[in-house]
Amino acid sequence: MLGAIIGDIAGSRFEFEQKPSEGFELFSEESNYTDDTICTMAIADAILHGRSYKDSLLDWCRRYPEPMGGYGTMFSQWIDSRNPLPQASFGNGSAMRVSPVGWLFNNYHDVLDQAKRSAECSHCHSEGVKGAQCVAALVYWLRTCRITRDEVEGAVMRNFGYEIPPLKDINRIGRLGHFDSTCQETVPWAIRCFLESNSFEDAIRIAVLAQGDTDTKAAITGAIAEAYYEVPVELAESAFAYLPKDMLAVLSQFYSKIETTI
């Protein structure tokens, strides 16, 4: 969960106009959390307190109606609706928020089921559900050592049908200014960024340097990387400084829960 938040903040200032360069600062005065962090908090809060994913998402998104970068158009309409119904969306929003599921459930079938539920309340397209399930499954597999990093690519192909493109292709497309807004693109691209890394921080940097949807790609990469690498204390403390008290409270409850159940 913290990995997703760090990735979100690190990528936030590069999503639209700025372009990252080698050695960029992970945290700056221009950085902030975005809808990725808000929605991740909502998923964790739902699980921790027995709320429906829909109610928790609506609560948190309405509590923070104007995050840095805003919400996607379809998701914003869902938030503002008097009777929010699932949309046939395969946007990457279902995948960027799901990491708490991979940590808080300890059975693979429960992880898949809960990831599906967390997605389909707003993103009911099969690709939107699959993207969430893939990220949650990877977090679960890696944190429990069910698979090694070398086995990730094969496991993802067998279970979710994603081909993981080479990093050079992702970087080329990013330099052309393409914005990877769908699960079908962002999830496999984020997985490749993780696979090319040698540390948690390196994974975040690779994802941001790939450009495109930098905050979401880095959030998904960070979520996966946290399940494999140790998150440096200094990066965690830097991220905490951006978060309001209610988010810090959820983070505290989340990691306390993990310590008692894992």
Give the per-residue SS3 of the chain.
Answer: CHHHHHHHHHHHCCCCCCCCCCCCCCCCCCCCCEHHHHHHHHHHHHHHHCCCHHHHHHHHHHHCCCCECCCCHHHHHHHHCCCCCCECCCECHHHHCCHHHHHHCCCHHHHHHHHHHHHHCCECCHHHHHHHHHHHHHHHHHHCCCCCHHHHHHHHHHHHCCCCCCHHHHHHHHHCCCCCCEHHHHHHHHHHHHHCCCCHHHHHHHHHHCCCCHHHHHHHHHHHHHCCCCCCHHHHHHHHCCCCHHHHHHHHHHHHHHHHHC
The reported pLDDT for the residue numbered 122 is 95
- Given a cut of 50, the residues of the chain with pLDDT beneath it are none
Which pLDDT belongs to residue 261?
Answer: 60
pLDDT attached to residue 211: 93
Q: Are 99 and 40 in contact (CB under 8 A)?
A: yes
In this predicted structure, what is the pLDDT of residue 170? 92
